[in-house]
Structure formats: structure tokens, C-alpha cells
Structure 1
Amino acid sequence: MKEAGNILIVDDDLDILTAGKLLLKRRFTQVSVCNVPAQIPSLLANQSFDVILLDMNFGPGESSGEQGFYWLKKILTIKPDSIIIMITAHGGVDVAVEAMKLGATDFIAKPWQNEKVIATLSTAIKLGRTRSEAQALKQTNQVLVQASNQSTQQPMIGHSPSLEEVRRLIARSAPTDANVLILGENGTGKELVARELHQQSLRRDHIFMSVDLGAVSETLFESELFGHKKGAFTGAHQDRIGRLQAANGGTLFLDEIGNLPLHLQAKLLTVLAQREVTPLGANTATPFDVRVICATNLSKAQLQDESIFRQDLLFRLNTVEILLPPLRERRQDIIPIAQYFIALYQKKYHKPELLVSDDVLTALEQQEWRGNIRALRHAIERAIILSETKQLTIEDFQLTAPTLGQNNNKAAELSHDGAQLPIELNLEKIEKNTIALALKKHRYNISHTAKELGLTRAALYRRMEKHGL
């Protein structure tokens, strides 16, 4: 069976062309010949060749190889990824080696050995395909990186003094490779800040990779970040690259760094300090080049508690520290943010005719939004989905603040002495209050709160969004 491949032989010796074509057409699907080098540009314009066999000398008495060098450079100028094998006379190895320095892939000497010529061409064709696949993969990755950055990036909305200070810190630190630690409550937009840092950095054309450390179990932490080799542990059926290597050249965002146990903090510190990673089951370390951005909802006081967070790791992570204020501390930004999400979800759910009164916007502005932007966004999306009229009302948002005039659904229960004691019987509010108390008890540590409530982290997040916590 013939091997797929389009070969071009360029030589002024008609006997060589005839012998070469007879030999190669039995092994490859297409073979073209050319005895006039000046025809090469037109041939390249009309066809794509997997391999070009190019003679070093053209014309009687020529032996310097200058003509071969000229046409080698010409071909590579027209098509830089060409696979070119030089044909040289016996004893012209030095000239052929010089040609390889200029971009030739290999050479064969005349008189050639048939088996060696076929083997050399087969190898060259495989090399060409590997290069093409690598180039296609590189281009695909570039497109995916650009698409990912564009599709997930949302604007930082608002002009409150605190948000303007955040913008200034981003602008000053983004062009550097300094590690950045972003502090703030849940839902304040810490990943948004991390992505903005990436977009304004010199690494913007490379990958931005986000890892939620709170969602990575302790047993899988090393495999997830450092990678592993096949057979490193039960279930490791194949090699896997870790996130640190996968983000090489780009930015690695480690969210919820404060939830990482102390012993894993030590392992992360070692890797970041050495700038090289050893996958589980491997014997050698691999260097990596990433810019590390971290985020946590822990307070500064908690971060400085050595029983919670290693101080040597903290020093390495917070070269620059950015504090994101909660939404309730920048109320002037609430209405612009709400208007953005209203327009977004009107378009998404095909309800462009929905009207929003100033009273509704004012009501949104007066809310505490303990879940911050995430809670506001969720409330708006739900209101637009469930709205049955063309006018969004306060009731559509299920707001509960006393300033909105909503009544608490209380019931009465008799105490032992006959007095009436008000208690809460609304299941939704009981759930909300319980979650709020647990979050406050554990200082908004999601892992500890979820454990006490008997929920998974994902389930707790869903309930926090549901209740605007």
C-alpha cells in the first residue's frame, strides 16, 4: 500500500529525475519532478508538497552548492514550514550540513541507496505532519484563550471611590509579574479582579486558569495542581498534567486560598518558591512560569493567625494586596450594576420589553446584599425569569428589608406561663437564618460552614445565592 505523500524532486539531471520518480511512485501517492529551478515558485503556488528533494548544484561543473543554498532560502521564504531534503554528490557532506543549518531537514548523497531514500522520506513526511499538527494546535489554543477571555470577562461597573482605588491598584500592578492577593467577602467579584489583572498584564495572550481550592479535596490537591504519572496512585490510569504546568506562560488564579489546610499550604509554598513542580510518581522536577493571583474571604486578622494561615506563604502571595469592599459599602454602584444585569438577562431570556421603575432600583439600592454582587445578580435573574407582567415590581425580587414594607411572617406560641412568644415558622426564613448564623460563626469559611450544616460546598453556595447571603 502506498504511503500518503506528495513529493517534489528538483534536479537538472533527467536521469536522476526519472530514477527518482520510478522509485518513489511505488511507495508514495504522488511524485512530481522539475529540472528547471526557476519553476519552483509557480509549483509551490499551485500545490502543497509534503517533502521537496532539492539538488545542491545545477548546471555542468557546478560543485559549490551556492545554487542549492539560493533555492533553499527561496523555498523557505515562500513557504517557511517546508520539509526540504538536499541531494548532494558523494563527498559533499560539509555542504549538506551547511544547508541544514540554513533550514534543510536532512540530506541524501548520490549515488543513493533506495532503501535509505524511502526511509528518509517517510521520516520527513511524519515530521512535516507533526509540525502541522503542532501549529494547528497552537493556533487553536490561541483562539480558545481569546474566546475564553472574551466570553468570561465582565466589566467592573461603578465609580465609587473604593472601586476607583481598586482600579488604580490593578493598573499599577498588572504589567508586573508580582503575586497579588485579593481580599473580600463572597460575591464581591474577586475573580473579576483577577481576570482584569490578567487582561492588563504582559501575559494577556496566554491562558488564564482558575482553580477553586475550596472545591479540591485534600487527597486530590497534589494531583490537581502538580499532576501525576500513570500508576502513581489507585485510579491514575494515565499521565495527567497539573494546573501549574497547564497554565505555563499565563496566569494561575487560586481562589479560596484561605481554605487550604496548613500541611498543603507548606507544599504549595515549596513549589512556588522553587518555581518547579514534580508530578506525583515522577522522579524529576519540571520548571514552570506562571503569575500567581490568589483570593480569599478571610479577614486580615484571620490571615495573620498562624493557626489558620502560614505567614511565610502569606508573604510570598501578597506582594500586592487588593481589598474589594462589600456592595453595601459602595451603594452608589448598586444601581449601575443592577441596570447592567437587567439588560443582560432581558436579552438572555428574550424579555426586552420589561420596564423597571425608579422605585424598584431604589429598593435594590437600599438592600444590604450580604451575598454582594452574586446575590444581586441572582435576584435580578430570578425576577426576570418569573416576571408575569411587563413591569418588574418589588415583589418580583422577593426583597425582605424592613425599608420595603414587607411583613415578617410570625406566628405565636404559648410559653409555659401562658405568655405568647413570637417564633418563625416560615421554612425559607428558618433556612436563611440558620445558614446566616453558621456563616457568621465560622467567619464565612465555606468549608467549615458546609460541614456543620451537613451540606456539600456546592449545595451551600446554591442556598447562599438563593437567600442572597
Structure 2
Amino acid sequence: MEDTSLGKILIVDDNEDLLFAAKMLLKKYAKEVTIEKDPRRIPFLVNNNNYDVILLDMNFTEDTTSGKEGFHWLKQIKEIDPKAVVILITAFGDVEMAVQALKEGATDFILKPWQNEKLLATLSAASRLKESYDQVDNISQKSRQLQADMKKPFSEIIGQSSSMKNIFSIIDKVAQTDANVLILGENGTGKELIARAIHDRSLRRDEIFVGVDMGAITETLFESELFGHKRGAFTDAKEDRAGRFEVADKGTLFLDEIGNLSMPLQSKLLTVLQKREVTRIGTNKSIPVDIRLICATNMKVHDMVMENTFRQDLLYRVNTVEIFLPPLRERQDDIPLLANHFLKVYAKKYRKDFSGFKPAAIQLLQNYSWPGNIRELQHAIERAIIMAEGQELDSRDFFFLSSKPSAEKVKTNGTLNLDEVEKNVIQKAIDKNGGNISKAAKELGLTRASLYRRLEKYGL
């Protein structure tokens, strides 16, 4: 037999001489060989280790011929890990027992005393089977993720402004490395598109890109979604599930809205990033992961560090390179390009024939402040195409924008004192949001904690 790795093997038998002999034989071929004479330790061992093959005796000291103990422990193993590869061994060969063992979930059946060549061949086949199980699981998880990704519209980054040209230059430089990237910018500026562009130009381009909206994950689901869980770990855990870190293995993991994480969740994330391994809920097994990490947020994380609402060590970990995406109002030269792109997309979607925009429409689009950035522009073009008549979009087709101010002026009450200006802006945000602190803080680009401090400072 070729000197190939058989992975991690567990052998459970009450015969210590057999255990010793098997370990001496297999240690030359296996990555790791664990021997155990007490079957009562099986649940602990299987819960806390990833074995490629388990060799299980069918008869222990309490019952030496019927095989009932072997079937009992086989069932225990399968309940813990339904995809476990188990080979039953016994000195009492019986065809009916072998058939029953296979029906109960055993992979194979071998008699002792065995021939070394036969044992090695059986283990080699079983190890390949286990590897195929793992590959199928991985492919299945990645397939589901890819199908979700295919539903995402618009994979292009459009822009010719100086700020975008600078971003393209940064992408080209950082993409070929595995450096962690932090993308900053307002909502709707296209942070995920930048992350995908980095992935598509990286050495991991042929592997999967996994995006996670951290703002949409509750505290209770955080570990399950990111790190995975074992079947039965909690009420709704009806099957084993790989977390996003595992699914993204060898590829790129994009954590959007990372600034929304609470301090306890930041700590858990930092631990995984430092160790480069995850542990599924319901098990103590550590699973190594190899990912390229890209994060994004619309929050001022550097201010949050000063306010002790974002861990400084986590920020250091995720922002080897920072990319700032300017808001659309600072990219007026790109608005015609983006507008024409969305015009083609939605004209095709709704089977309408449009040749372009009238000058007045382009001027209106360039003068508007776009608080929702590219996402708002996209929706505006879609709405206009649905309602418009004719072959060109005119300014009147965007009547719903003209009713909005292009830029709200802050009332300063005749003062340029920064504290007074800030106080007025905060009061205006609170009034606008009906006293809702969370909404006011979000609109101001502040955390709730920092807004409360300012409220106290100004006696509001």
C-alpha cells in the first residue's frame, strides 16, 4: 500500500494488546491514531474530535458474542455525527450481523484477527469516503451561497471621477494580497461592490465570496450564523450546519455593517480572527478556516474606539488597508454614467424603449443631494422608467425628487460657534425623528452612547 495519510482514526476495543498492535501499524499511515478501551468514553471523544474513521469492536466484556454492544455504540456515534464513518470489528463473523451493521449505518465490517493489508485497504477506502462526505457538504453550502449571490443585481463598479479612479488604484494594489480591508462610507455607496471587486481580482477569485449583513443578525443567532452549529445544539437545530466562516474557507468573507456589533460579539469575532478557527455551537471541536477578510461600515469606527464602543484591537485586526467611498453628492461626474447604466437595466427589465435622458433631467439628477446615494439613484431611475412615456426621460419624470430639498441648511441662529451649531443639529435630528434616539443617532452618524453624551453636554 502507498504511504498515504488515512487522516484521524479512533479505535475502540477492550483488548489492550489489539489496540497497541493496531496503533503501531497505523501510525505510519494515519495523521493521528487514538485508542480507547472503554466504550463509555465514545460520546466525549466523538463530540470533541473530528475523526475520519472510527474502528469499533462489536463485543466488549459484558457481552462477548451477540454484537449488541457494538450496535448500541454505533447508534450513539451516528446520533452525534450522522456522517461518521464507522467500521465494525469482531472475531465472530456472521453474514446476518454484517448486513444488520450496514443497515444500522456502518460503513464496513472486518473480522479479527485481520490481515494488515486488508485492514489498510479497508481504512483507505473508508477515509476516502469520509473525505467525499466533507466535500459534498462543503459544495452544498457553497452552492446555496452562490445561488443567493446570483440573485444580487449589478456586479459592475461605475465611475470616472478622480475619487473613484483613486479607489480603483487601491483595489488593484490590495487585491493581490491577503491583507484585511475595511471599507468606510455612507449607506448605498456600493461598499459590497468594492468588496466583490477586490475578491474578483484576488488570488482567491476562483473560490467563494460570502457576504454577511452583521446588522441583520441578532445577538442570539450570531454564533450559529457565523460559526455554525451541531444538530440538537438548540431547539431549531435540526441538522448540522456550517457557519459563514466555514463556507467561506479558501475564499473571501465580507462582513458588512461591522460597526453594529455589540462589545461582547466584537470579542467573539476577534477571538476567531486571531485563532483562525471556529467552534460550532454544541461541540468543542475546533475547525481551522482560511479566509480573506473584508469588512465595511457606515459608522465612524475611529470615533467609536475613542468612545469605547468599538474595540481598538479589533479595528487593528480588520483595517490593514482602509478604503473610503465618497457619497454620490461628491461624485457628480459619475451620476450620468450611473443613470445611463440603470436606464439600460430597467428598460430591458420592463421591456421599454428609452434612448436616454434630456439635459434637464441630467441637470436635476446632478443637483440633487442623494441622501440614499447610489441605491436611491437606482430606485429613482426604476420608478421613472415605470411611469414615464416617450423615449427620453425628462426632469418632470423625476417630480418626486424635485419636492425634496437638494441640501438642507442647518439653522445656526446667526452663530458660527461649533458647540451651538452641533447643539442645533442634534435638536433638529431629534425633532425630525419624533424623539427617537436610535433613529436620530443613525441619521447623525453617531452611536446611541455618543448621542446620549452630547444630549447631557448640551442639556437637551
Q: Give the equivalent residue in structure 2 for 1:255.
A: 256
Separation (CA, whole Å) in 2 of partners of 1:157 and 1:203? 23
Q: Is contact 1:367-1:401 (8 Å) kept?
A: no
CA distance in 1, matches of 2:357, 2:384: 11
How big is the shift at 1:126? 12
Give me the whole-angstrom Cα distance separating, in 1, the residues matched to 2:434 and 2:163: 29
Partner of 1:154: 155
- Quote the offset at 1:247 in angstroms: 0.6
Pair 1:346–1:437, CA change in 2 (3 A): farther
Alignment of 1:179-190 (within 5 A): 179-190=180-191
- Give the superposition deviation at 1:386: 1.8
In structure 2, the residue matched to 1:17 is none
| Matching of residue 382 in structure 1 with residue 383 in structure 2 | yes
Gaps of 5+ in 2: 1-117, 407-430, 450-460
Residue number in structure 2 paired with 1:441: 441
Q: Which residue of 1 aligns with 2:370?
A: 369
SS, match of residue 254 in structure 1: strand
Q: In the alignment, which residue of structure 1 is the partner of 2:329?
A: 328
Structure number with bigger Rg: 1
Partner residue in 2 for 1:400: 402
Which residue of structure 1 aligns with residue 412 of structure 2? Answer: none
Q: Are 2:201 and 1:191 aligned?
A: no
Q: Secondary structure at the match of 2:220?
A: helix
Gap change, CA 1:219 and 1:437, over 3 Å in 2: closer
The residue correspondences of 1:104-183 to structure 2 (distance < 5 A) are 145=146, 148=149, 152=153, 154-183=155-184
Q: Contact conserved, 2:145 with 2:210, CA < 8 A, in 1?
A: no
Deviation by residue 1:62-118 (Cα, 9 ceiling, x = unmatched)? xxxxxxxxxxxxxxxxxxxxxxxxxxxxxxxxxxxxxxxxxxxxxxxxxxxxxxx9x
The Cα offsets for residues 397-436 of structure 1, whole Å up to 9 and x where unpaired, read as: 21136789xxxxxxxxxxxxxxxxxxxxxxxxxxx95499
Counterpart CA distance in 2 for 1:132 and 1:242 is: 17
- What is aligned with 1:75? none
1:245 and 2:246 correspond = yes
Conservation of the 8 A alpha-carbon contact between 2:211 and 2:254: yes
* Alpha-carbon distance between aligned partners in 1 of 2:159 and 2:345, rounded to the nearest angstrom: 16
Distance in 1, matches of 2:326 and 2:138, equals 41
User: 1:369 Cα shift?
Assistant: 0.2
The answer to whether 1:211 aligns with 2:212 is yes
Mark the CA change 1:295 to 1:144 in structure 2 (over 3 Å): closer, same or farther: closer
Tell me the CA shift for residue 211 of structure 1: 0.3
Contact conserved, 1:145 with 1:205, CA < 8 A, in 2? no
Quote the residue 2:419 is aligned against. none
CA offset at residue 385 of structure 1? Answer: 1.3
What does residue range 281-292 of structure 1 map to in structure 2 within 5 Å?
Answer: 281-292=282-293
- Residue pair 2:340, 2:356 contacting (<8 A) in 1 also: no
Q: RMSD over aligned Cα, in angstroms?
A: 4.0
Question: Equivalent residue of 1:177, what SS?
Answer: coil
Task: Answer yes or no: is the 8 Å Cα contact 2:353–2:391 preserved in 1.
Answer: no
Secondary structure of the structure 2 residue equivalent to 1:203: coil
Which residue is 2:338 aligned to? Answer: 337
Aligned to 1:224: 225
Matched, 1:298 2:299: yes
Tell me the distance in 1 between the aligned counterparts of 2:170 and 2:274: 24
Q: What is the number of residues matched between the two proteins?
A: 307
Superposed counterparts of 1:42-53, under 5 Å: none
Distance 1:238 1:387, change over 3 A: same
Q: 1:377 to 1:189 in 2, by over 3 A?
A: same
Q: 2:259, 2:301 within 8 Å by CA — same for their partners in 1?
A: no
- Alpha carbons of structure 1 residues 293 and 128: separation in structure 2 relative to 1, 3 Å: closer
Whether the aligned pair in 2 keeps the contact of 1:181 and 1:322 (CA below 8 Å) is yes
Change in Cα spacing, 1:299 to 1:202, as seen in structure 2 (3 Å) is same
Cα distance in 2, alignment partners of residues 239 and 330 from structure 1: 47
User: Aligned in 2, Cα 1:437/1:222: closer, same or farther, shift over 3 Å?
Assistant: closer
- C-alpha contact 1:254 1:293 (8 A) present in aligned 2: yes
| Alpha-carbon distance in 2 for matches of 1:144, 1:230 | 20
Inter-CA distance 444–186: structure 2 relative to 1 (3 Å threshold):
farther
Distance across 1 between alignment mates of 2:158 and 2:227: 36
What is the identity percentage for the equivalent residue pairs of Structure 1 and Structure 2? 48
Partner of 2:323: helix, strand, or coil? Answer: strand
Cα deviation, 1:360-386, whole Å, max 9, x if unaligned, reads 011101100011000100111111112
- How far 1:124 sits from its partner (Å)? 7.2
Identify the residue that residue 21 of structure 1 maps to in structure 2.
none
**Distance 1:434-1:337 versus aligned 2 partners, 3 A rule:** same
Query: What does the per-residue CA deviation read over 1:132-188, in whole Å, with 9 as the maximum and x for residues that have no partner?
Result: 996898699689859957975522111111111111111111111110000000000
Distance in 1 separating the partners of 2:306 and 2:130: 56
